[in-house]
Amino acid sequence: MINFGSFNNKWDKHVERKKINRDWDIKNFRRNSMAFKLSQRSLDRLDGVHPQLVEVVKKAIEYTDVDFGVIYGVRDLETQKKLYESGKSQTMASKHLIQEDGYAHAVDLMAYDGSNPSWDIVDYDNIADAMRKAGKEVGVDLVWGAAWHKLLTMSPDSAEDLMNDYIDTRRKENRRPFIDGPHFQLHT
């Protein structure tokens, strides 16, 4: 006897998957047909950031299929103290502080969906892939805030795989992963 219930179920799943693929295509078409540009505000926030990292961010905006803006470059000691004390930063030795060479070595990039900020980690994976490509071209080593254990620019894995690997590594060590998707820093 044919079990229609199970057929219906499979078909539903198939339709569901098709719908997801179609939505994905529409989204990508919309995204790929747009060239993103850094706003003046984003460019201003790159003031005081290491010139090579600035170069990476400027290239990455051309490669990314998710729009982003710069929310932080240089951070003063007072602000860093507050973030550290509230647990939003895990270190007082932040690369956002001016380093010995006179530049900050970190940027925070916020993903946008249209004019709305996005907190979807998938968007940050995509930005990290663009940063990885740009970093390789500029010839600098980068660390991404969602995969602290390996260099983003040296790993053959996609940013998404790298993040999952980081989470697995931390869990095996019984440590909580510290995911800071918007954060990128020079490995120096």
* Positions that interact with Zn ion (CB under 5 A): 106, 108, 183
Name the residue nearer to Zn ion (CB basis): 108 or 129.
108
| Nearest-approach distance from CB 115 to Zn ion, in angstroms | 22
| Nearest-approach distance from CB 172 to Zn ion, in angstroms | 25
> Do 165 and 176 touch, CB atoms closer than 8 A?
no
Name the residue nearer to Zn ion (CB basis): 112 or 178.
178
Contacts of 95 (CB under 8 A, 6+ apart): 104, 105, 106, 185, 186
Residue 90 corresponds to which amino acid?
Answer: Q
The Cα 74–Cα 97 span in angstroms is 6
Name the residue nearer to Zn ion (CB basis): 34 or 77.
77
| Nearest-approach distance from CB 183 to Zn ion, in angstroms | 3
Residue 40 corresponds to which amino acid?
Answer: Q
For residue 128, give the nearest of 105, 150, 147, 149 by alpha carbon. 147
Report which residue's Cβ sits closest to Zn ion.
183
| Nearest-approach distance from CB 96 to Zn ion, in angstroms | 6
Name the residue nearer to Zn ion (CB basis): 108 or 125.
108
